[in-house]
Amino acid sequence: MNLARRILVGVPYLWLLVLFLVPFGIVLKISLSDIALAIPPYTPTLDLSEGWAAVGEYFAALDLENYVFLTTDDLYWKAYLSSLKIATLSTVLTLLVGFPIAYGMARAPAEWRPALLMMVILPFWTSFLIRVYAWMGILSTEGILNQFLLWIGVINEPLIILNTNIAVYIGIVYTYLPFMILPIYSTLEKMDESLLEAAEDLGCSRTQAFWFVTAPLSRPGVIAGCFLVFIPALGEFVIPSLLGGSRTLMIGKVLWEEFFNNRDWPVASAVAVILLLILIIPIVLFQRNQENQREAGR
- Distance of CA 2 to CAs 5, 26, 67, 241, 269, Å? 5, 33, 47, 51, 41
Which is nearer to another protein, 108 or 166 (by Cβ)?
A: 108
Minimum gap (Å) between residue 31 Cβ and another protein: 10
Minimum gap (Å) between residue 50 Cβ and another protein: 18
Which is nearer to another protein, 44 or 143 (by Cβ)?
A: 143
Minimum gap (Å) between residue 52 Cβ and another protein: 21
Which is nearer to another protein, 203 or 297 (by Cβ)?
A: 297
Minimum gap (Å) between residue 4 Cβ and another protein: 7
Minimum gap (Å) between residue 298 Cβ and another protein: 9
Which is nearer to another protein, 116 or 161 (by Cβ)?
A: 116
Which is nearer to another protein, 165 or 267 (by Cβ)?
A: 267
